[in-house]
Structure 1
Amino acid sequence: MSLSRRTALKRAALLAGATALTVTSAPQALAAGPVPSPPALDPALVQDALDRHRAEQRRVFTGRPSKNGWEMERVADAGGTVWTRPVVGTPLAGVRVRLGDVETVLVHVVRRFHYEVDALRAGDVAGWSAPSKVRKGLAESNLASGTAVRIRPGSYPFGARGGFFPDQLLVIRDILAELAGVVRWGGDDRRPDEALFYVDVRPGDPRLAEVARTLRGWSDEPGKGAGAPVDVLGTRRRDAAEALARRQRAAA
């Protein structure tokens, strides 16, 4: 049966009204009903998840600090905060260090060493080391927290001084001053370790975050950062380097 135009229009209007009424009323109907309770958690499943989390924490973290106050970790590249990170511009496959600000400053040290002190080869830099392989009371324990690196440890043996030429020492001092003292050179320690460079502030120290932020900003500025030419003999840089050297030696 054919519909007249008037009849078709009426039916369309009725259908539109019914649809609008349904859409408008539905939220009201839902709001008026009881709010469903979330499903109850199975205590056994919750306990199992907690047990697995605690086991993972024990597998990775020691709960004990290295000499500089950062927590030592039992493993690297395996769920903790210590991972192998690239060292751009060098032949190194990477270095195992703590992620974040620590990584930023230590990688900067390695890169400047490569560009300005002596060119590095693959295998010349060691980062994280297992807690069982470091002496806890010494600065080398910082390796176990991922907050230190050793550059050519075979060339600069523990306990020996004088491994660097004077011009190389000028650059090392300039690097430390550029980092505002948040990194220390093991050559200034009472028991020297000239291959060792390590973070010299406690976790949460705002100076570390500030220096790391500056270094990251340099990556976006041509002529800034590791590899950029600097005058380590410039008066201001030299004065800053010498002042920091006196403070860090006195703190040994």
Structure 2
Amino acid sequence: MREFIDRRRVLATGAGLGAATALAPILSGTAQAEDSGPSRVWNGTRSANGWPVLDNGENFTIEGSGLSVRLAAGSVAVILLHVARRFHYEINQLREGDVRGHIRSRNILQRYESNHLSGTAVAIRPDAFPAGVKGGLYPYELVVVRDILTELDGVVAWGGDFATPKESHFEIAYRPEHPKVKGVARKIQGWDSGPGGEGAGATDAFDPRRQARARDFVRRTG
């Protein structure tokens, strides 16, 4: 059975990791030039990351939370649900209204927010971590975020690394045809169908080997 990480142990560990978690930004496969400013209307048939805009997303349950979110079906849903589950298990329990997926309104503030129109982005606690604000996560929470990005091999980009940051924002970083998208989704499905020793709720982001991999990932991609 999956268990929540002991937050007291995590806080104690995170206090000693401040320098280690000040990691350079990761450049995703669709690094974007984010624009700040007034609201704009997104008129394209595809979102900024190249995925088709959807009339409606499909409704999916976020394991362990009792909440649901609308996303693009298939590999996208597998990947972004994994992100939300790990946030729920390892950072903060999700509550009603904490997760936003597909949207229909084309009025957006940042270019990367258009990815919600294609169901290829989630915003986790967007009211707590709005666009333009950086430094909202504690050091131990950043350890978990970096671990998630590393194990997903850059297929997910984090808004905290964008020019106009939004630490609640996670998106698919590659276009639909990129083989990494399906490959990472298959990896997650393998964890989910395995004996329970891997994946969301069963991962220790503070294992020294995982932290070393996260630091190496940032050096290679940052």
Structure 1 distance, partners of 2:208, 2:177, is 32
Q: Is 2:85 aligned against 1:111?
A: yes
- Of 151, 162, 170, the match for 1:197: 170
2:49 maps to amino acid: N
Partner deviation per Cα, 1:7-47 (whole Å, 9 max, x = no partner): xxxxxxxxxxxxxxxxxxxxxxxxxxxxxxxxxxxxxxxxx
**Correspondence for 1:44:** none
Q: Is 2:41 aligned against 1:67?
A: no
Q: How many Å apart are 1:91 and its aligned residue?
A: 2.6
Higher RCO by CA contacts (8 Å cutoff, separation 6 or greater): 2
Q: Secondary structure, in 3 states, of the residue corresponding to 1:244?
A: helix
Q: How many Å apart are 1:208 and its aligned residue?
A: 0.9
**Correspondence for 2:135:** 162
Q: TM-score, normalised by structure 1?
A: 0.67
Q: Is 2:105 aligned against 1:124?
A: no
1:71 maps to amino acid: P
**Correspondence for 1:88:** 63
**Correspondence for 2:205:** 232
Mapped contact 2:106–2:114 kept (Cα < 8 A): no
**Correspondence for 2:114:** 141
Q: How many Å apart are 1:131 and its aligned residue?
A: 4.8
In structure 2, list runs of 5 or more residues that go unmatched.
1-42
In structure 1, list runs of 5 or more residues that go unmatched.
1-61, 77-81
**Paired residue total:** 179
Structure 1 distance, partners of 2:44, 2:129, is 31
Identity score, percent: 44
C-alpha RMSD of the superposition = 1.7
1:155 maps to amino acid: A
Q: Secondary structure, in 3 states, of the residue corresponding to 1:86?
A: strand
Which structure features the higher share of helix residues?
1
**Correspondence for 2:24:** none
Structure with greater Cα Rg: 1
Mapped contact 1:134–1:143 kept (Cα < 8 A): no
